[in-house]
Amino acid sequence: MCGIVAYIGPKDASPFLLEGLQRLEYRGYDSAGLAVVAPATRTAPARLKVCKVKGRVADLAAAVPARFKGGTGIGHTRWATHGVPSDANAHPHTDNEDRIAVVHNGIVENADELRAKLTADGAVFRSETDTEVLAHLIAAHRTDDGELEDAVRAALKLVVGTYGIAVLDAEQPDRIVVARNGSPIVLGIGEKEMFAASDVSALVRYTRQVVHLEDGELATVRADGFRTFTEDARTVTRQPSTVDWEIGSYDTGGYAHYLLKEIHEQPGAVERTLSGRLDERFATAHLGGLNLDARELREIRRVKILGCGSAYYAGEMGAQLIEELARIPAHSEPASEFRYRNPVIEADTLYVAVSQSGETYDTLAAVQEVKRKGGRVLGVVNTVGSAIARECDGGIYLHAGPEISVASTKAFTSTVVAFALLALHFGRIHDLSPADGRRIVSALKALPDQIREILEQDAEIARLAAAYADSQGMMFIGRVRGYPVAREGAQKLKEISYVHAEAYPASELKHGPLALISPELPTVAMVPDDELLDKNLTALGEIKAREGRVLAVAHRPVGPRLADHCLVVPKSEPELDPLLLNIPLQLFAYHAAVALGRDVDKPRNLAKSVTVE
Ligand code: AGP
């Protein structure tokens, strides 16, 4: 979703801004723009220069005039919410005197009301966006002898909604003012130069020293430093932290796409999620961040997992693990629905929010709803220090590494591993025997090598994906543990290849979807070698009897009578099998998308982190 970058220092801002915007492309966007303060000359005062276009960052780079010089600048990639993607609606937005320029992530909820008032006072709006309201509002509070930060503070007091903003003032080119409320802003500290962005990935080439603003905080950023303060002008001290990921984590590293790289990074990601958390002596897991002792955990009677999209499906696998290993009722629900149904919050229920980015607005709002009603929430989150991680009472960091591609793969897998650790920990506090605990511990340790084994089938999966890619749609089926695998497999295929895909429990086929089966609608079937094997094979027979094509993902070869093709994956313990069955489906979706010529890392209409409702 929208991205912000800002630079102030002795160099020209625009090369950094363009590169930073390129690094934020993965978040999804439809237009891009820059503003710099062109320095005063002997004949003219300093003034704003703005360049913005509908389209890609490359289009913006081509449109930026050669004389677009200035050491103070802001940039933006926009994902349309208010108004169509267009040059006029692209950010930055300016006031009528072109003195103030603003880039904004988030939504101004009272934009219509503010716009009406500003228009009555003489402002002329040049876009349909809520952001332009901010530019006029800040200009209206800007006095000739006042400070930009005071005008920004005064303006933001009138705003209802969420924002991460960066503001330029042509008359105060020695500073950029940034503010955060519900949409991230991170400052980057350089040598006599400073950076800001909505996402650390835009900064890591230039500095590893960063400061994350908290909600309700602002900062004045100058070339030689920064000052953070609250909306009431109270100074707050923020210590820089060091970004611990290698710069290479933000590159494709020789792979054709980030998605392929991230699929192949999964063995390492799983090793990091497990690192230091397995206790072989007591056959359990150590999860230091839960902030719950064994006695408190024993009092939990139910687990409710909240997440969106793939995070919700990973939660379904997590719920299954918790029920099986700890025998505690557990259920996963879309966070986007949860808060709208006035949920009953129970004291003995543990709520678990799942989010790779830690910034998904629907999940954050669900966490806030639980907390407002006195519930306890843990976060299973990849991005350290993100909004959801900070809002939760405790949790498990995935340590999967930065995930750039819009489609989640390594974070999904690491989330399931984190749930396996939580389920093991819970189980061993309840009735999971030491022998079963040891069984799970050794199965978890074996996962990285088993994933490597599956990844070696990449070429074979690519061949199959190309053969199935032109299908009019695909069905994904599985039973019980296999059903969330089918759901995630269908999700991955549809989001990156745009091939329609539906997931069903195999047991439901006869209750409706069997009517769809034909040679044009192939089925991808999960066929683990578990207690439901015979029932799964029966379902395949029913599909084949109706001339359906079948690709089985199985632990043992399924012959041509029941499946046209079969991918054999290594067997784990039954509780962990779903995690491995999912890996070939990621490669299948990836190669189908490549075969269809899709923009794999940036699928249409989607954004990496959905920071609006
Ligand atoms: C995953 O492939 C999707 N892009 C999407 O469903 C994603 O998982 C969802 O938007 C939640 O994101 P989060 O994990 O960052 O909260």
> CB–CB of 40/76 below 8 Å?
no
- Pick the residue whose CA is nearest to atom 4 on ligand 1: 407
Q: Best mutation site among 419, 494, 610 for ligand 1, i.e. most ligand atoms within 8 A of its Cβ? A: 610
- Buried b or exposed e, range 218-251, using 16+ CB within 10 angstroms: bbbbbbeebebbeeeeeeeeeeeeebeeeeebbe
Task: Give percent of the chain above pLDDT 70.
Answer: 100
Q: 57-66: which pairs have CB atoms within 8 A and are 24 or more residues apart?
A: 57/18, 57/21, 57/22, 57/25, 57/32, 59/32, 60/18, 60/21, 60/32, 60/33, 60/34, 61/18, 64/14, 64/18, 64/34
DSSP type of residue 314: H
Which has the closest alpha carbon to 153: 76, 257, 228, 82? 228
Please report the pLDDT score of residue 386 as a whole number. 86
253: pLDDT confidence band, cut at 50, 70 and 90? Answer: confident
- Pick the residue whose CA is nearest to atom 9 on ligand 1: 309
CA distance 107 to 164: 9
CA of 408 to the centre of ligand 1 (A): 6
**Dihedral (CA of 461, 462, 464, 468) sign:** positive
Judge whether residue 525 has pLDDT over 90: yes
Given the structure tokens 């086929």, which residue do they identify?
509
CA of 313 to the centre of ligand 1 (A): 10
Lowest mean pLDDT among 179-183, 256-260, 408-412: 179-183
Q: What is the pLDDT of residues 531-585, one digit of tens each?
A: 999 999 999 999 999 999 999 999 999 999 999 999 999 999 999 999 999 999 9
Which has the closest alpha carbon to 613: 161, 96, 173? 161
Task: State the closest ligand 1 atom to the C-alpha of 610, by its place in the atom list counted from 1.
Answer: 10
Which has the closest alpha carbon to 69: 44, 39, 104, 45? 39
Average pLDDT over residues 45-69: 94
- Buried b or exposed e, range 356-366, using 16+ CB within 10 angstroms: bbbbbbbbbbb
CA of 166 to the centre of ligand 1 (A): 26
Q: What is the pLDDT of residues 277-317, one digit of tens each?
A: 999 999 999 999 999 999 999 999 999 999 999 999 999 99
Give how far the C-alpha of residue 59 lies from the chain's centroid of Cα atoms, to the nearest Å. 25
Please report the pLDDT score of residue 2 as a whole number. 87
Q: Best mutation site among 259, 360, 408 for ligand 1, i.e. most ligand atoms within 8 A of its Cβ? A: 408
Judge whether residue 255 has pLDDT over 90: yes
Task: State the closest ligand 1 atom to the C-alpha of 491, by its place in the atom list counted from 1.
Answer: 2
Please report the pLDDT score of residue 336 as a whole number. 94
- Pick the residue whose CA is nearest to atom 2 on ligand 1: 407
> CB–CB of 484/320 below 8 Å?
yes
38: pLDDT confidence band, cut at 50, 70 and 90? Answer: very high
Torsion of the alpha carbons at 301, 305, 306 and 307, rounded to the nearest 10 = 170
What residues are labeled active site?
2, 608
CA distance 601 to 402: 14
Which has the closest alpha carbon to 111: 90, 82, 91? 82
Please report the pLDDT score of residue 220 as a whole number. 98
Average pLDDT over residues 586-592: 98
507: pLDDT confidence band, cut at 50, 70 and 90? Answer: very high
Task: State the closest ligand 1 atom to the C-alpha of 363, by its place in the atom list counted from 1.
Answer: 16
CA of 549 to the centre of ligand 1 (A): 30
Judge whether residue 28 has pLDDT over 80: no
Interstrand relation of 523-527 and 474-478 (parallel, antiparallel or unpaired): parallel
609: pLDDT confidence band, cut at 50, 70 and 90? Answer: confident
Please report the pLDDT score of residue 26 as a whole number. 78
Which residues are near ligand 1 (CB < 6 Å)?
A: 308-311, 355-357, 360, 363, 406-408, 495, 609-610
Task: Give percent of the chain above pLDDT 90.
Answer: 86
Task: State the closest ligand 1 atom to the C-alpha of 360, by its place in the atom list counted from 1.
Answer: 16
342: pLDDT confidence band, cut at 50, 70 and 90? Answer: very high
- Pick the residue whose CA is nearest to atom 8 on ligand 1: 310
> CB–CB of 410/249 below 8 Å?
no
Within 10 Å of residue 299's Cβ, how many Cβ atoms? 10
pLDDT: which is higher, 492 or 42: 492
CA of 494 to the centre of ligand 1 (A): 13
Instruction: Calculate the alpha carbon distances from 244 to 201, 208, 248, 267, 402 in Å.
Output: 12, 8, 12, 19, 11
For the chain, helix (H) and strand (E) counts, in that order, are 18, 27
Please report the pLDDT score of residue 148 as a whole number. 97
CA of 409 to the centre of ligand 1 (A): 10
Contacts of 244 (CB under 8 A, 6+ apart): none
> Helix, strand or coil for residue 169?
strand
> Helix, strand or coil for residue 546?
coil
Task: State the closest ligand 1 atom to the C-alpha of 407, by its place in the atom list counted from 1.
Answer: 2
- Pick the residue whose CA is nearest to atom 16 on ligand 1: 355
Which has the closest alpha carbon to 12: 71, 60, 61? 71
CA of 271 to the centre of ligand 1 (A): 22
- Pick the residue whose CA is nearest to atom 3 on ligand 1: 407
DSSP type of residue 341: G
Task: State the closest ligand 1 atom to the C-alpha of 492, by its place in the atom list counted from 1.
Answer: 2
83: pLDDT confidence band, cut at 50, 70 and 90? Answer: confident
Q: Best mutation site among 79, 356, 410, 601 for ligand 1, i.e. most ligand atoms within 8 A of its Cβ? A: 356
CA distance 318 to 354: 10
Task: State the closest ligand 1 atom to the C-alpha of 408, by its place in the atom list counted from 1.
Answer: 2
Please report the pLDDT score of residue 129 as a whole number. 93
Given the structure tokens 């923020």, which residue do they identify?
238
Residue 101 is which amino acid? A
Judge whether residue 339 has pLDDT over 90: no
CA distance 129 to 173: 25
Please report the pLDDT score of residue 385 as a whole number. 80
This prediction's pTM: 0.82
Q: What is the pLDDT of residues 142-198, one digit of tens each?
A: 988 899 999 999 999 999 998 999 999 999 999 999 999 988 899 999 999 999 999
CA distance 31 to 84: 10
CA distance 492 to 495: 5
- Buried b or exposed e, range 518-550, using 16+ CB within 10 angstroms: eeebbbbbbbbebebbeebbebbeebbeeebbb
Distance separating the N- and C-terminal Cα atoms of the chain: 12
CA of 350 to the centre of ligand 1 (A): 22
Q: Best mutation site among 201, 317, 360 for ligand 1, i.e. most ligand atoms within 8 A of its Cβ? A: 360
> Helix, strand or coil for residue 380?
strand
Q: What is the pLDDT of residues 97-141, one digit of tens each?
A: 999 999 999 889 999 999 999 999 999 999 999 999 999 999 999
CA distance 527 to 537: 7
Average pLDDT over residues 369-390: 93
Query: Which range has the top average pLDDT, 81-95, 199-213, 440-454?
Result: 440-454
Q: What is the mean pLDDT of the chain?
A: 94
CA of 489 to the centre of ligand 1 (A): 14
Q: Best mutation site among 199, 308, 392, 419 for ligand 1, i.e. most ligand atoms within 8 A of its Cβ? A: 308
Please report the pLDDT score of residue 299 as a whole number. 95
- Pick the residue whose CA is nearest to atom 6 on ligand 1: 309
